[in-house]
Structure 1
Amino acid sequence: MKILPLALAQFIASYAATNMNVAISTIADDLGTTISGVQTTITLFTLVMAALMVPGSKLTDIWGRRRCFVVGLGIYGTGALLAALAPGIGLLTVGYALLEGVGSAMMIPPIYILVTALTTDKAQRARGFGMVSGAGGLGAAAGPLLGGLVTSAFSWRASFLLQVVVVAVIILLARKLPAPERHHKKFDLLGAVLSGAGMALVVLGVLRTTWPIVVAGAVVIGLFAWHIRKTPEPLCEPKLFRDRTSNLGLGTQLVQWLVLQGTFFVLSVHLQQVEGLSAIETGLALLPATIGLLVTSALAGRLARKHPQNRLIRWGFLITIAGTLFVPDGLFLIGAGIGIMLTASVNVVQSRWPDTDQADVSGVSRAVSNLGSSLGVAMVGSVVDHRAALVLLILFSVLGFGLAVFIRNDGARQAE
């Protein structure tokens, strides 16, 4: 039960990233905007999370885990309420993309650190990570169906009001979470600016298909890497990027979320704009993927005990590739494949580092996952034909499998 508020928080943040997909046409018509405008708002939501996730993890160390978690929930809930009341795309972007994104960046890093604090051995910790990661995958997968049901039965605004209610429940449950001592550390403001600006430029360059902006983003990320090696109290420790297994695990996380969000987005737009399906019909059309992810997420703990993490990640990518080749008939396989490897990748990364580094590695891990989500929506949104977009997602899945091939069996061993 102690893990429940943490799993719920991860569920609602992931749900928010996909539930709008099935309501894109409805939102665009209601607010007098375009599909591209709604796509930009969705992309900005995950981008804000990615850009601020590492700074959010550092605030966890400075403010304390429970305090950062609850403050983030409060900001998130405020953003959801503003989005529900938005008369136009401007306030929707402020509430959904900005405030919900900032709130998520503050509440998600403590989730994974608190799982570590609440569990006493590796087996329990793996189950805790499995619950939280499974909740995240479930939220992302259930977003289209629940979003479609709520939008069709009430309106897209009711989906945001539902998030407000869930956040209020999580805040009440969070009172029982441990509140360990704070650490009096300096906040690396320049590092936060460089990391956030670099990721923002890369994603916005992809979204607008403007490659000079992408290159500029890569240069800024390079400056961030140089900065954290030179400053005495960096935003995150440079050693986190020197471990081969951890880096490969982070790469698979990025690809997994890119493929998951990209698939849901491109199919949602196609089903609504080309096939003429309603929000609930779109959600039901994507239901096989939701079921596949549900089934394998429920089995994640058992699979992790029976099979090496690297093997699960490889299986997951192969199954996902097979499913994407046969869309729409392969939607179940896409969900099942992603569900198999989500928890395994998190276990590989988090378990490489001792408790003292969990704040930093949690922030980096979540930043990479949300960067993948942003790139997924940005990339497939820039491809006109949905079949071409699916081919692009297959190529990324092949890349993810290639990364997983080089992850050693000792992925759960803590790095020195």
Structure 2
Amino acid sequence: MARLLAGLSLGYFLVMLDTTIVTVALPALSPSLSDQQWISNGYTLTFAAFLLTAGACSDRFGARRVFFTGLTSFAALSLLSAFAFSPAVLIALRALLGVAGALLVPSSLSLIASAYPSAAARAKAMGVWAAVSGTGLVAGPLLGGLLTQAFGWRAIFVVNVPVALTALALSRSAPATPPKPGRVDLIGQISAVIALSTLTYALVEADLWLLPLSVAAVAVFVASQRRPGAMLPFSLLSRNLLAGAIVNFGLSGVLFVLSLYFQETRGYSPSSTGLAFLPLTIPTAFNPIFTGRLVARIGSRIPAVSGFVLMSTGTVLQAFVPGLSVVALALLGFGVSLAIPSLLTAVVGSAPAELAGTAGGALNASRQTGAVLGVAILGAILNTASMTTALFVAGVVLLAGAFLFPGS
């Protein structure tokens, strides 16, 4: 059981690692802020857009099959990304990587739910899963900076291959879950992709004429989910999903803003920038395990609300007292490692067993949608105002998450 959990956690670690490992390398990939935003968002946009369909596929075709398909595809696409010869090609490959990553997340959650039927045992397992994967999310800037400076930016994609092969070997014992009949919700999927892509393009490129199309696509998506066989049953919708979006809005947006600030304003090298994020990285290596045990004892609400407050405090402190970056980033790291495991347990634990994959996909879709919007919106603020303004906005949004989270 421990071997399987390690393999599933390592698969999600890989997905989260690629969310942030490019952040420090962005100045080396392109001098254009627009290209930098798309290289970052190309991955998270398709990751967010296809998570719901991936969750439905996990429930309908078997979590084991979907997990292995996503893992092998991720390894192959990572290797191709290492040989990209232009920002445009890299953006396209990053978009395909996002689809492969989307297959991994709900399927791994579904396999954990099957392997740990007890609520308390599941909470502890998800704490381990979140600790390993959360480390990938925030270790990305450190590893990306070290690899970029030592071997060049292509190394940040090559490193995915041995990690994926290790995850495959560890998770071979994953049980085969019976497929469930159903169909792919094409209308829901297409409308979700259009809504996210047009909104992101409008924010990044300042072409606001696309906003009405995005709003219309959202309306079509909501209407389509009221039909039988929808990929996101309305029974799964809750304020937990909005809280999940807020977590990643703040985290991904802050990482994007600070990576550019450390390198372009303070003149840090890529490796020094990665090291600067260590106060954020270290808490996520151990605190989610504590959070999983805490949630198993007292529920998810108190840890989650505490996490949002810490994230908001750290972000605002970084905005107005940049000399206290170590303290600010440590608060952000502890906040993230309290909030995310609590959200996972609340959402997956409240869903019917047969919808575990869909519930996991819904939460992670909301989180990655928040990540896309965080990079796009805070990047736009950074382009027109200042780092202080961008971080203050992020801090206010994160504080709102403390009031939105209903918990369980």
* Same-fold call, TM cutoff 0.5: yes
Instruction: Determine which of 361, 378, 382 is the counterpart of 2:359.
Output: 361
* Whole-Å separation in 2 of the counterparts to 1:252 and 1:316: 11
Match of 1:296 in 2: 287
Matched, 1:85 2:76: no
- Give 1:123 deviation, angstroms: 0.9
Counterpart of 1:387 in structure 2 is: 388
- Determine the C-alpha separation between the residues in 1 that align with 2:290 and 2:209: 44
Q: In structure 2, what is the Cα distance between the partners aligned to 1:294 and 1:70?
A: 25
Aligned with residue 128 of structure 2, among 107, 127, 131: 131
Contact 2:287 2:337 (C-alpha < 8 Å) held by counterparts: yes
CA deviation after TM superposition for structure 1 residue 183, in Å: 2.1
Alignment pair present for 1:258 and 2:254: no
Cα shift at 1:222: 1.6
> What's the secondary structure of 1:175's corresponding residue?
coil
Q: 1:304 to 1:238 in 2, by over 3 A?
A: closer
Who is 1:237 aligned against? 233
Aligned to 1:414: none
**Residue in 2 aligned with 1:244?**
none
Q: Is the 8 A contact 2:247 2:398 kept in 1?
A: yes
Per mean C-alpha deviation after superposition, the further-off stretch among 61-70 and 110-119 is 61-70
Alignment of 1:60-209 (within 5 A): 60-95=58-93, 97-209=94-206
Q: Which residue of 1 aligns with 2:321?
A: none
CA distance in structure 1 between the partners assigned to 2:169 and 2:98 by the alignment: 21
The separation in 1 between residues aligned to 2:29 and 2:200, in whole angstroms, is: 23
Q: Distance in 2 between matches of 1:282 and 1:289?
A: 12
Deviation readout 1:200-236 (Å, 9 max, x if unpaired): 2223222233444234223211211112213x32223
Deviations 1:369-406 (A, max 9, x none): 111111111111111211111011011112111213xx
- The answer to whether the 8 A contact 1:134-1:342 is kept is no
- Equivalent positions of 1:1-16 (< 5 A) are 1-16=3-18
When normalised by structure 1's length, the TM-score is 0.91
Q: Distance in 1 between matches of 2:52 and 2:59?
A: 11
- CA deviation after TM superposition for structure 1 residue 145, in Å: 0.9
> Is residue 401 of structure 2 the alignment partner of residue 400 of structure 1?
yes
Is the 2:256–2:375 contact (alpha carbons within 8 Å) kept by the matching residues of 1? Answer: yes
The answer as to whether partners of 2:5 and 2:171 remain within 8 angstroms in 1 is: no
Aligned length: 396
SS of 1:299 mapped into structure 2: helix
Q: CA deviation at 1:135?
A: 2.3
Deviation at 1:78, TM superposition (A): 1.6
In structure 1, give the amino acid aligned to 2:126.
F
- Does residue 333 (structure 1) correspond to residue 335 (structure 2)? The answer is no
Unaligned runs of 5+ in 2: 319-324
For residue 308 of structure 2, what is the aligned residue in structure 1? 317
- The C-alpha deviation readout for 1:8-38, integer Å capped at 9, x for no partner, is 011111110111111111222xxxx523212
C-alpha separation between the residues in 2 aligned to 1:234 and 1:341?
Answer: 28
What is the CA–CA distance in structure 1 between the aligned matches of 2:174 and 2:340, rounded to whole Å?
25
CA distance in 2, matches of 1:207, 1:164: 31
Contact 2:132 2:285 in 1 (8 A): no
CA–CA separation in structure 2 for the residues paired with 1:300 and 1:67: 30
In 2, distance between residues paired with 1:62 and 1:319? 39
- The alignment status of 1:271 with 2:271, answered yes or no, reads no
Partners of 1:41 and 1:83 in 2: CA distance:
11
Matched with 2:273 is: 282
Deviation of 1:309 after TM superposition, in Å, equals: 1.0
Q: Aligned partner of 1:238: which letter?
A: F
Offset from partner CA, 1:55-80 (integer Å, 9 cap, x none): 11122233221111111112211211
Tell me the distance in 2 between the aligned counterparts of 1:36 and 1:287: 27
Q: Distance in 1 between matches of 2:129 and 2:246?
A: 19
The answer (yes or no) to whether the contact 1:62–1:184 under 8 Å persists in 2 is yes
Match of 1:308, as an amino acid?
G
Alpha-carbon offset, residue 308 of structure 1 = 2.9
Tell me by how many angstroms 1:91 deviates. 2.1
> Is the contact made by 1:292 and 1:334 (CA closer than 8 Å) also made in structure 2?
no
1:102-140, CA deviations, whole angstroms, 9 ceiling, x for partnerless residues?
101112110111110111311111112212222232111
Separation of aligned partners in 1, 2:299 and 2:353? 22
Decide which moves more: 174-183 or 346-355: 174-183
The percentage of aligned residue pairs carrying the same residue is 27
Question: In structure 2, the residue corresponding to 1:20 is in which secondary structure?
Answer: coil
Q: Over aligned residues, Cα RMSD in angstroms?
A: 1.6
The question of whether the paired residues in 2 share the 8 Å contact of 1:195 and 1:220 is answered with yes
User: What amino acid sits opposite 1:359 in the alignment?
Assistant: G
> Equivalent residue for 1:19?
21
Q: Which runs of 5+ in 1 are unaligned?
A: 242-246, 412-416
> What SS does the aligned partner of 2:229 have?
coil
Which SS does the other structure have where 1:21 is aligned? Answer: coil
Separation in structure 1 between the aligned mates of residue 43 and residue 92 of structure 2, nearest angstrom: 10
CA–CA separation in structure 1 for the residues paired with 2:355 and 2:180: 13
Letter in 2 for 1:403: L
Alpha-carbon distance in 2 for matches of 1:108, 1:138: 15
